[in-house]
């Protein structure tokens, strides 16, 4: 089985994949197999659980435990998945991949000791596994940052400076994710939700939640976000729709649709739809550079509308799900798709691409070394056109699944998605913002012999070329604002005293701070 991840209780069920034929013993196991093969993971979970409890044969009992663990994993229930993989192993079920998957699940709940043991076992069975080696690296990366995993403290964990908080205006008790701004004022947000409509109680067989649909919220006259409303037809037709990406004028949307057919595996397709006169037209399926048998999902249109990024599991990729780009031709069609290459794509899965107004590419991955689960990465092209990839760091990323970032233009704020701290694997939307960092210097200059100083001068020279000449107050106080990410040389002089040099730095400081110093000058003897 290709290593798959049904994301966030949905769109990797949406992403649909290749399937494994299970050698189940019969009866309940055969029925569970059929549901699993077409991606009905919630339904298959319940059926495998019953089959496991009823089965007497040890081999089949271990087999049922393995696929029950798979259902838990693909629904984001990592703690249950890890313990159930262990169950399968105890029954001597001979699927080596269980150790890799178990390691990922342990790491996703912050159990790094057991994660390392699972990865090492898998490496002993499959020595060339880059995913297992990256898993070990990721444990070393994440463990020092999470001394206690009982609670995720947004304020205490060392971070990149961003302040995050749940976006309660968009979230429900079901999965909410993949936000997209509409318009130049950033006052309308589209997002995907799996909330159950009031009149519909039937849940989705894949996720156990409602069908995914696209919802909209906007800022009203009082400056508050309105209650989310689902989009009208042609959306909301008991078909999984989601992951919207819109052109800046809001008139064209790209999205993922998963038509459901109980007799066939789930299929994820990419659609384009246009808006005119306040109503959406008919969606048109677009398969950039491929055919209808390939999974195409998570479209992301560039700000100029000429580049379309998407996710696919097509043949010829680097591994798992890769990110591709296609270019709009002059006649409105799309060029042959191009794989973004090994700097972006890995043997794992790369998902949820997003192109910022400044051209920077963001995406989620479980194949690059990370803090756990899926992390969000930034990719910037260097002068040679090669992508340089960097992890967004804490608290944007965590040991949970983090994905689907969105910026408000060129401002350092926006939204992203995560299932952090949710035992049911439900995804929520979070806001993030980089507060203004105000740095200043307060220094008192005095005499080591507590005598009055004459003609005191303080010069502050910065690595950015700044050069400030300051004179202290009668109390010897000098105060000034400092620039971010600058090394400073401070020179203190006074008549009849030995000059004194010291250095201070604001490099890497991501929180406001007053740097306080006390300098005593020695008299010349």
pLDDT at 149: 43
Q: Work out whether strand 307-312 and strand 322-327 pair parallel, antiparallel, or are unpaired.
A: antiparallel
| Side-chain-facing half-sphere of 293: CA atoms under 13 Å | 3
Pick the CATH number of 439-521 from 2.60.40.1120, 3.90.1150.10, 3.40.1280.10, 3.30.360.10: 2.60.40.1120
Higher pLDDT, 267 or 41: 41
Specify the range with the lowest mean pLDDT, choosing from 38-42, 242-246, 510-514, 515-519: 38-42
pLDDT at 22: 41
In tens, the pLDDT along 36-61 reads 877 788 888 889 989 889 888 888 89
Q: Inter-axis angle of helices 78-90 and 97-108, to 10 degrees?
A: 150
pLDDT at 126: 81
Is the alpha carbon torsion for 70, 395, 375, 212 positive or negative? positive
pLDDT at 452: 84
In tens, the pLDDT along 91-102 reads 888 788 899 999
Q: What is the mean pLDDT of residues 244-268?
A: 83
pLDDT at 11: 44
Q: pLDDT-derived band of residue 389, with 50, 70 and 90 as boundaries?
A: very high
Higher pLDDT, 381 or 26: 381
Query: Rounded to two decimals, what is the model's pTM?
Result: 0.75
Distance CA 209, CA 224 (A): 28
In tens, the pLDDT along 411-464 reads 999 999 998 876 666 899 999 998 888 999 999 999 988 888 899 999 999 999
CATH superfamily of 7-145: Tetratricopeptide repeat domain (1.25.40.10)
Q: Does 154 score more than 60 pLDDT?
A: no
Average model confidence (pLDDT) across the chain: 85
Q: Where are the domains of the chain?
A: 7-145, 439-521
Q: Own/partner pairs for 133-136, CB < 8 Å, 24+ apart?
A: 134/346, 134/348, 134/367, 134/368, 134/369, 134/370, 135/100, 135/103, 135/104, 135/107
pLDDT at 12: 44
In tens, the pLDDT along 7-28 reads 333 444 443 333 333 445 555 6
pLDDT at 157: 45
Q: What is the mean pLDDT of residues 361-376?
A: 90
Q: Does 259 score more than 80 pLDDT?
A: no
């Amino acid at each position: 089985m290709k290593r798959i991840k049904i994301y966030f209780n949905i769109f990797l069920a949406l992403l649909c994949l290749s399937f494994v034929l299970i050698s189940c013993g019969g009866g309940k196991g055969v029925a569970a197999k059929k549901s699993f093969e077409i991606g009905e993971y919630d339904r298959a979970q319940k059926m495998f659980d019953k089959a496991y409890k009823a089965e007497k044969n040890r081999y089949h009992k271990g087999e049922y435990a393995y696929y029950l663990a798979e259902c838990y994993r693909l629904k984001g229930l990592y703690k249950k998945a890890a313990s159930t993989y262990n169950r399968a192993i105890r029954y001597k079920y001979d699927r080596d991949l269980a150790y890799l998957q178990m390691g990922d699940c342990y790491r996703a709940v912050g159990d790094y000791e057991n994660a390392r043991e699972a990865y090492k076992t898998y490496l002993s069975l499959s020595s060339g596994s880059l995913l297992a080696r990256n898993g070990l690296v990721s444990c070393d990366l994440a463990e020092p940052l999470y001394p206690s995993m009982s609670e995720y403290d947004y304020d205490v964990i060392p971070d990149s400076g961003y302040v995050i908080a749940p976006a309660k205006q968009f979230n429900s008790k079901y999965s909410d994710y993949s936000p997209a701004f509409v318009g130049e004022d950033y006052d309308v947000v589209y997002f995907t939700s799996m909330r159950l409509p009031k009149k519909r109680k039937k849940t989705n067989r894949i996720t156990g939640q409602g069908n995914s649909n696209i919802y909209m919220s906007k800022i009203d006259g009082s400056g508050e976000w309105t209650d989310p409303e689902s989009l009208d037809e042609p959306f909301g037709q008991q078909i999984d729709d989601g992951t919207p990406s819109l052109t800046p004028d809001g008139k064209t949307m790209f999205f993922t649709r998963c038509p459901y057919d109980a007799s066939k595996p789930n299929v994820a397709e990419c659609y384009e739809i246009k808006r005119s006169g306040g109503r959406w037209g008919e969606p048109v399926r677009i398969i950039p550079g491929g055919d209808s048998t390939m999974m195409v999902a998570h479209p992301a249109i560039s700000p100029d509308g000429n580049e379309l990024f998407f996710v696919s599991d097509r043949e010829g990729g680097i591994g798992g799900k890769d990110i591709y780009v296609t270019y709009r031709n002059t006649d409105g069609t799309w060029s042959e798709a191009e794989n973004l290459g090994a700097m972006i794509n890995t043997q794992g899965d790369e998902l949820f691409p997003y192109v910022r107004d400044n051209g920077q590419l963001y995406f989620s991955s479980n194949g690059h070394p990370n803090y756990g689960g899926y992390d969000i990465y930034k990719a910037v092209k260097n002068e040679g056109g090669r992508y340089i990839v960097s992890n967004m760091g804490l608290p944007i990323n965590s040991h949970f699944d983090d994905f689907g970032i969105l910026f408000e233009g060129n401002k350092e704020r926006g939204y992203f998605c995560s299932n952090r701290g949710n035992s049911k694997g439900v995804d929520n939307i979070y806001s993030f913002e980089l507060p203004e960092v105000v740095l200043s210097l307060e220094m008192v200059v005095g005499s080591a012999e507590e005598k009055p100083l004459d003609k005191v001068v303080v010069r502050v020279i910065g690595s950015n070329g700044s050069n400030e000449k300051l004179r202290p107050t009668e109390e010897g106080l000098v105060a000034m604002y400092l620039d971010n990410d600058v090394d400073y040389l401070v020179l203190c002089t006074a008549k009849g005293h030995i000059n004194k040099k010291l250095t201070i730095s604001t490099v890497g400081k991501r929180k406001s701070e007053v740097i306080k110093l006390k300098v005593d000058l020695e008299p010349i003897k």
